[in-house]
Amino acid sequence: MSLRKVWLIARREFTTNFRRRSFLFATFGVPIFSLIILAIIVFIVAQNLDDLSAFTHIGVVDQAAVLTDASGTARIALPTPFELLTSTDEARTALDNNAVQGYYVIPQNYANDGQIEVYSRPEPRLSDALNKRFQDVIQEAIVSQFGDATLAQRLLNPMKNLAIYRVGSPVKLDQIALLAVFLVPFILCMLIFFATTSTSQFMMSGLVEEKENRMMELFITSTRLSEILWGKILGLGALGLAQILIWILITLVFMTLRGGIDLGKSLANLQLTPGYVLILLAYFFLGYLVYGSIMFGIGASVNAEQESRQLGGLVTIISVLPFIFLATYLSDPNGALPIFLSFFPLTAPIGMILRVSWAYVPPGQIILSLVILAAFAVLVTRLAALVFRLGMLNYGKRLSLRDIFSGLRGGRKNGFVSSPKEVQA
């Protein structure tokens, strides 16, 4: 195998696909579009959660003297839309006359069971945001009885001065580090998933395109099949890595241009340790090798891009299983299903990263998972090369599973050769 030819093929795959509109859109357009959609969703959800404009008059009957003292004087000023009512009869009459949209009753035994009664009409329904606001009012009224304003503020927000440290590190982190524990692994897995699947799709569609325009005939006459395989895998692997690096660079530039951001501290909040990064890289490279080889084999077995996309879609569906069962990873990352998905080769790149991010995983399990994934990568790479060779012997014909299995079993008896020179002859 000529390393120079492998390099030339890899360079061609990288430069050709880097200029593709689909790659440029996936690299620059999709992240920007996704961020815009995410910002809109967050804005709408936040507006709905905090919007109390639909409520103008909400009655409160305080039978437990939580909001008022023994003389009936309010302990705190009730914010809009709440207003004190003297009895449940008055509240019921006000509701029947549409003077209030609903009312809360704080029973006399509230101190014992903490239960509050709510009465309202079907429309407008008293929202969760309104219930949360009333909860804050009760909490403020209770802590106001201590008399010490400093103590009251501390009781209202007991974790205001939260100090966060990572085990084994003296560096103090911001509260955003708590959010990063959950979001960063998910975002990183999404980046790896998109980079791996998009470049693997380029592998498959490019191979089918070269077979359709008969460029593959030119390649076969001047290079070995193994050189074509490894040139494409290495070139598109570099393309996927470049895609991830571009996303990281855009993020760093954005954080820097915003100003007032300590870049070093922000990176520390993400808690990306060297060991964690090495695990990410290992699963990215092995995962790409697996999916790239599978897509290469699919592209070699069909003659139309539509057929290849249908078969490639089935593989992609399997790869997203860890995202489908994401709730299981959050609730029980060391359960049977997450453990299985972290060892199964087609889901291990995402499944194990999620487990490592949200739970302690014994090093032995990580090593075993990588060994299984590496062995599977070697297997599918060899299988892709054999399918490619068989496809060249049946050029212009779609290979069925029966043809592939027959070729694998029959070897030379079915015209399945092991030397690329025999194909070129």
According to DSSP, residue 78 is labeled P
Low-confidence stretches of the chain (pLDDT beneath 50): 412-425
Q: What is the pLDDT of residue 373?
A: 93
Q: What is the pLDDT of residue 121?
A: 78
Which residues lie below 8 Å from residue 134, measured CB to CB, with a gap of 6+?
58, 60, 82, 104
pLDDT tens across 36-64, in order?
876 787 677 666 666 677 788 899 998 88
Instruction: Please name the residue that has the structure tokens 């990572």.
Output: 166
Which residues lie below 8 Å from residue 229, measured CB to CB, with a gap of 6+?
296, 381, 384, 385, 388
Q: What is the pLDDT of residue 415?
A: 40
pLDDT tens across 121-155, in order?
777 677 778 888 888 888 888 877 766 666 666 66
Q: CB 144: neighbour CB atoms within 10 A? A: 15
pTM of the predicted protein model: 0.63
SS3 64: coil
List the one residue out of 321, 312, 313, 325 whose CA is nearest residue 345: 321
387's tokens:
């399918």
Q: What amino acid is encoded at 410 in this protein?
A: G
